[in-house]
Amino acid sequence: MQQEKETYNKIIHAGVEVLNKKDYHEAVVEEIANLAGVSKGTIFFYFKTKEGLFKEILLSLLNELEESLTKILEDVKLRAIEKLKSVYDTYIDFQIKNMNLFLAIRRELIKEEPVPRVEAIKEKLQKLTQKMLPIIEEMFKKGLIKKFDPTIELTEIVPSMILAYASAVSSMVYFYKDKIDKLKEIFWQILLHGILNEDVSINMLIFNKEK
């Protein structure tokens, strides 16, 4: 059982490495097998199809990201706003590190047909945003976040906004690699001052300048 798990993990890790360099359609199972040190037949024993392997590679990547974000969100030493900033930074860094695979995830998500692997990826991403909900709800109760349209449940939108801004920054790495840290901060400030109440936003701006 332990050996099977180790073999499975070796294949997944090899798949992540290969697919971070090549498009899904360019990658061949033999290359993943060689890197993992197993036969092509062994891969199909575990995953049945290339599609199945691709799905598990993407989900394993999101599982790794979820673990990182969970540690941040459960850190009792961090304030709510610090947790969100850390989630934002971590999401950017993780995407840049695995850019090819995240591009693959985005391509999967825009497909209209209900493909099982796409639905599984959507569910995982929704789970990531839902993990931020308690913090966002806490900030709403404290009056830190603006109330816009009362017919829209913003507690569910704000987490998606944070990840969307993070994705926008990470996609700029191709053009502004040497300025990515500055872009991180610029986009974070734009996001913050868009969602926070004005008095909170001003106070935070003053605090940041004093630091």
Tokens of 202: 């001003």
C-alpha atoms less than 13 angstroms from C-alpha of 178 in its C-beta half-sphere? 0
Judged against a pLDDT cut of 90, whether residue 87 lies above it is answered with yes
CA angle 188, 192, 194 (to 5 degrees): 120
Tokens of 16: 């992540």
Mean pLDDT of the chain: 81
Tokens of 87: 């989630």
What pTM does this model have? 0.80
**Residue labelled with tokens 């969307």:** 164
**Residue labelled with tokens 């197993």:** 38
3-class DSSP state of 145: strand
Q: Are 197 and 154 in contact (CB under 8 A)?
A: no
Residue % of the chain over a pLDDT of 90: 16
Please tell me the predicted confidence (pLDDT) of residue 124: 83
pLDDT tens-digit map of 92-110: 999 888 888 777 777 776 6
Nearest Cα neighbor of 189 from 176, 202, 180 is: 202
pLDDT tens-digit map of 37-53: 888 888 888 888 888 88
Most confident of 83-92, 99-108, 202-211: 83-92
Overall average pLDDT of the 130-136 stretch: 88
Least trusted range by pLDDT, from 23-37, 47-61, 73-87, 176-190: 23-37
Q: Are 32 and 43 in contact (CB under 8 A)?
A: yes
